[in-house]
Structure 1
Amino acid sequence: MNLTYRHLVLCVSVAGVLVNAFDPFTTTVFVGVGAALGRTIYRYFQESCNAEWIAFNATGLHADLELKLFGQHIASRIVLKAVSGFMSNNNPKKPLVLSLHGWTGTGKNLMSKLIAENIYKEGMDSSFVHVFTSELHFPHAQQIETYKSELQRWIKGNITNCAQSMFIFDEMDKMHPGLIDSIKPYLDYYDKLDGVSYRKAIFIFLSNAGGIDIIETALEFWRDGRQREEIQLKDLETSLSLSVFNNKQSGLWHTSLIDKNLVDFFVPFLPLEYKHVVLCAMAEMKAKGTEPDQSVADQVAKDLVYFPKTERVFSVKGCKTVESKLDYYT
């Protein structure tokens, strides 16, 4: 249907005039037509849980990962394959559960955004994408039981509304241990729970937990003179899952999600080097609609703090402060 807003408003106006001009019997007919037209207009402008609004773009995700996410060859490969496989499966056995780990500013939030933008027409603004931040939504430890019941009710209600919903849990390292276990049944291999199927939903956990282990591995490769691109998932996955599971400061501490193997992939995000910060700055300038300037990008990258202190290999804050730095230099 190729209706513009002006056309739709005109149709409604005409229908209203005709309704007022006809006798009661004919009016009933036009009221029915008007109601049907109203539903059409509503569907045209209101986001709906159908292929018009939810359609995975594998090519788009691949291109976005290449052009917008830097220094994350492991994370890009895992996520592209995991999401592509899941979205192409019309009958998945369980929801897709991704746990993204790494130091601040390495791209975990950006990755979530890119996934959403290539599944939902409205991206992160979609009414089917739900973001929970620990310190905002679950701030008080003494209210954990209330949070559990509210979280269960929220997820069940939203998946009932749209099976292909996405739930992003940020700051998992600040979440109260035990809270996330309340949604374990929704992530398990069940056909339905109380008449609701959760198998087409996507759950993404973002956490700094495990970041130290990832950094140590990256530093080990660097000190051995090996390229970071040589680092593989097998070099990190086991130690990462164990580190997260045994970290008392993590919302995934001793969680049954890990114990029962319900997390499909632990996705490591490597610390970023100087060259990656430069690329972030160039990409940010392009996103702002300004011509990328190499000298400005270099200046922004030079101003950041790097570690270890003597070698200055990795950015302490990754690309997190690049945007604000650019505002200063441009």
Structure 2
Amino acid sequence: MSDQESSTSSSQTEGEFEGEMDEEQDRGMEEEDRNEKGRGSPVPSLSNFSSSLRAVLRIKHKYQAIKKRRQEMALTVGGSGVLMGAPVRTSPKIFTFDGLTPSPFSALSAPVPQKKKRRRRKRVLFPNGGGCRAPPKQEHSRAKYCLYLLFAIVFIQVYNAIENLDDHVLRYDLEGLEKTLRREVFGQQGAVEDLLSHLKDYLSTYVHNKPLVVSLHGPSGVGKSHLGRLLAGHFRSVVGETLVLQYYVLHHCPQEADALRCASDLAAIISEMVERAEEEEKIPLFIFDEAEHMHGEILDALWQLVASKQSNEYLNAVYLFLSNLGHGHITKHMLHNSSSISTASGRHSNLVKELMPILRATLEELHPLWTEAELLPLGLLEKGHVMECFLDEMAREGFYPDHTNIERLAGEVEYYPAVGDHEYSQTGCKQVVAKVNML
């Protein structure tokens, strides 16, 4: 048999099978239509379910018969002389109903799929337990409340410390001192601000590791002694008369031969005042005016008190030195640099910045006491400051503050050559008191 005949026979069997399948489907559809017409309710009866099942069984038997017939025909055709190597069409090994449209009764007739049993996992056993260990519970630690309590205690302590510092500063009334110095001291606002800053930092607490040593330097008549008198009067009113010492070298120890005795007496006085201040929990003030006339023995005794760190006896104290040491450097700097700076604060900051290294080197060569001191230079006074000195002194003496008279008195004072718009006095306010007394 040729290839054409074998393909023809196979196509005929396929056509017969397809025709038979179409007939069976038509019959099944007709039966379903009749069943649907005869149904009185949407739920199918037992007879309808059995008829559909019988139809499925008939289709299955018919398919098996056709499949067997095709296999026999393929064997018969192959044995009667089919060429070797020719492809033989075989039927599918598995028959499925994927291409068929499912009927509403097929879901009822089909077996219900069973749920797959999940494989039970083995329980994880811990070494020291008979079963699963429960996850740890987050418990609130009691130590947290102790930590909160500690924070509260620290906050209260810091707050009380701040309040105590404020109370300690209020004891010395530094605000009142600032008002007094701004009102009474003329032309030295920069130096006054620096001095008040040192006092506020030191007096804000009672325990210190070293005393406060401040040294004011400037030419004659710029207000050094006047500033010392104002400080002494203020501290006498706040800490008491016995805790303030004003030491004038030319008055207390004029002879150099008595320098050793003066140094011993001064050390005894300072020791007594410091002990009294310790008992009253106050800080004493020691003012040394005309420090440029101090003898070497007195400077040595003061240096031992200021620089000594072996005892806590002399640490809580304020030492103020007033002198005209280095006045030549201050005068030269003011006359050469004032024309380029217009404001008073700018002149003072420039004076401190540029003159401080030179002034400190000069003073340290004289005595090591100045290495322990904070240096504050006082600049020259202008003509306007001298007029303010005359006005204040005339008001104190009861004279009428006549502006014409004040200008006349200020014109009698000697001045340096004008530097730009500035005219500096050679003697400052030194002659003001004498001239007012001659009125």
User: Fold conserved (TM > 0.5)?
Assistant: yes
**Counterpart amino acid of residue 368 in structure 2:** S
Question: Which position in structure 2 is the counterpart of 1:307?
Answer: 416
Question: Which position in structure 2 is the counterpart of 1:166?
Answer: 285
Question: Which position in structure 2 is the counterpart of 1:234?
Answer: 353
Question: Which position in structure 2 is the counterpart of 1:278?
Answer: 387
2:419 matches 1:326: no
User: Which TM-score applies when normalising by structure 1?
Assistant: 0.72
% identical aligned pairs:
26
Question: Which position in structure 2 is the counterpart of 1:75?
Answer: 191
Describe the superposition over 1:144-186 as per-residue Cα deviations: whole angstroms up to 9, x where unpaired.
3222222211211222222422211111111223421212232
Deviation at 1:304, TM superposition (A): 0.9
Partner secondary structure for residue 296 of structure 2:
coil
Counterpart contact for 2:232–2:246, Cα < 8 Å = no
Partner secondary structure for residue 203 of structure 1:
strand
Partner secondary structure for residue 78 of structure 1:
helix
Question: Which position in structure 2 is the counterpart of 1:24?
Answer: none
Deviation at 1:310, TM superposition (A): 10
Partner secondary structure for residue 387 of structure 2:
helix
Q: Considering Cα pairs closer than 8 Å and 6+ residues apart, tell me whether 1 or 2 has the greater RCO.
A: 1
Counterpart contact for 2:387–2:407, Cα < 8 Å = yes
C-alpha distance in structure 1 between counterparts of 2:308 and 2:260, whole Å: 25
Describe the superposition over 1:262-315 as per-residue Cα deviations: whole angstroms up to 9, x where unpaired.
21x111111111000011112223334555332232222111111249999321
**Counterpart amino acid of residue 257 in structure 2:** Q
Residues 1:225 and 1:91: Cα distance change in structure 2 (over 3 Å): closer
Question: Which position in structure 2 is the counterpart of 1:180?
Answer: 299
**Counterpart amino acid of residue 322 in structure 1:** V
Counterpart contact for 2:418–2:424, Cα < 8 Å = no
Q: Map of 1:32-51 to 2, 5 A cutoff? A: none
Question: Which position in structure 1 is the counterpart of 2:372?
Answer: 262
Show structure 1 runs of 4+ deviating over 6 A: 309-312
**Counterpart amino acid of residue 98 in structure 1:** V
C-alpha distance in structure 2 between counterparts of 1:61 and 1:177, whole Å: 33
C-alpha distance in structure 1 between counterparts of 2:304 and 2:187, whole Å: 35
Question: Which position in structure 2 is the counterpart of 1:26?
Answer: none
Q: After the TM superposition, which of the residue ranges 75-84 and 89-98 deviates more from structure 2?
A: 89-98
Q: 2:200 aligns with which of 80, 84, 102?
A: 84
Counterpart contact for 1:55–1:119, Cα < 8 Å = no
**Counterpart amino acid of residue 186 in structure 1:** L
Partner secondary structure for residue 319 of structure 2:
strand
Residues 1:119 and 1:136: Cα distance change in structure 2 (over 3 Å): closer
User: Which TM-score applies when normalising by structure 2?
Assistant: 0.55
Q: 1:60 aligns with which of 165, 170, 176?
A: 176
C-alpha distance in structure 2 between counterparts of 1:73 and 1:132, whole Å: 25
Deviation at 1:222, TM superposition (A): 2.6
Question: Which position in structure 2 is the counterpart of 1:126?
Answer: 241
Residues 1:141 and 1:119: Cα distance change in structure 2 (over 3 Å): closer
Question: Which position in structure 2 is the counterpart of 1:3?
Answer: none
Structure 2 alignment gaps of length 5 or more: 1-166
Question: Which position in structure 2 is the counterpart of 1:23?
Answer: none
CA RMSD in angstroms comes to 2.8
Partner secondary structure for residue 242 of structure 2:
coil
Q: After the TM superposition, which of the residue ranges 152-161 and 112-121 deviates more from structure 2?
A: 112-121
Describe the superposition over 1:79-116 as per-residue Cα deviations: whole angstroms up to 9, x where unpaired.
11011221112222222111110111111112222223
Partner secondary structure for residue 169 of structure 1:
strand
Deviation at 1:57, TM superposition (A): 1.5
Deviation at 1:221, TM superposition (A): 1.6
Q: After the TM superposition, which of the residue ranges 306-315 and 76-85 deviates more from structure 2?
A: 306-315
Counterpart contact for 2:277–2:284, Cα < 8 Å = yes
Q: After the TM superposition, which of the residue ranges 112-121 and 56-65 deviates more from structure 2?
A: 112-121
Question: In terms of Rg, which structure is larger?
Answer: 2
Counterpart contact for 1:166–1:203, Cα < 8 Å = yes
Counterpart contact for 2:338–2:419, Cα < 8 Å = no
Counterpart contact for 1:221–1:227, Cα < 8 Å = no
Residues 1:128 and 1:220: Cα distance change in structure 2 (over 3 Å): same
